[in-house]
């Protein structure tokens, strides 16, 4: 292989990898465990404020019953938004995308997500995996 051909192949491979990275902008924001008793203060704090336009919730372990969820944005007045989440989620289920809206911007910097709910039908705690899409 000539040096020119080798460089061209490397460049092509690099471009393919960059395009593949942009094709899927889903990020694991974190995992949260639900206790068996109802609680309304389960908080997933993001160490770095992430721009997120929608989220998905996957139940990795156990069944979950949710009574609410909210996202909090990095803003001067600690703006927040209540989310419409399914009340019952079975193990292995992933929700549809849940949109995070704003007046003028569909991309907001999320600093934390809170949940209210508990584990059902299991002696172990259910775990929720939160995925974000920007």
Cα distance between residue 1 and residue 17, in whole Å: 22
In a domain, 50, yes or no: yes
Look up residue 50 and give its two tokens.
């992430």
Q: Which domain holds residue 57?
A: 25-133
Return per-residue pLDDT of the chain as tens, 134 residues: 555 444 444 443 344 444 444 445 788 999 999 999 999 889 999 888 888 888 999 999 899 999 999 998 887 566 888 999 999 999 999 999 998 875 555 556 888 999 999 999 888 899 999 999 87
In a domain, 105, yes or no: yes
Phi and psi angles of residue 79, each rounded to the nearest 5 degrees, phi first? -60, 145
How many domains in the chain?
1
In a domain, 3, yes or no: no
pLDDT, position 102: 56
What does the CA dihedral 28, 94, 122, 46 come to, rounded to 10 degrees? Answer: 20
pLDDT, position 121: 85
pLDDT, position 104: 53
Cα distance between residue 117 and residue 48, in whole Å: 25
Q: Tell me if 82 sits within 8 A of 55, measured CB to CB.
A: no
Cα distance between residue 122 and residue 124, in whole Å: 5
Whole-prediction pTM: 0.75
In a domain, 108, yes or no: yes
pLDDT, position 44: 93
User: The domain spanning residue 69 has which CATH number?
Assistant: 2.60.120
In a domain, 74, yes or no: yes
């Amino acid at each position: 292989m000539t040096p020119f051909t080798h460089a061209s192949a490397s460049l092509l491979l690099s471009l393919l990898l960059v395009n593949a990275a942009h094709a899927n902008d889903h990020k694991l924001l974190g995992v949260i465990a639900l206790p068996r008793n109802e609680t309304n203060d389960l908080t997933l704090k993001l160490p770095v404020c992430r721009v997120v336009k929608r989220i998905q919730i996957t139940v990795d372990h156990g069944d979950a019953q949710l009574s609410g969820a909210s996202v909090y944005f990095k803003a001067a007045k600690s703006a927040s938004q209540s989310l419409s989440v399914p009340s019952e989620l079975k193990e292995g289920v992933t929700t549809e995308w849940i949109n995070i809206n704003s007046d003028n911007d569909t991309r907001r910097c999320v600093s934390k997500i809170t949940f209210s709910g508990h584990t059902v039908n299991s002696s172990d705690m259910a775990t929720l995996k939160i995925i974000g899409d920007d």
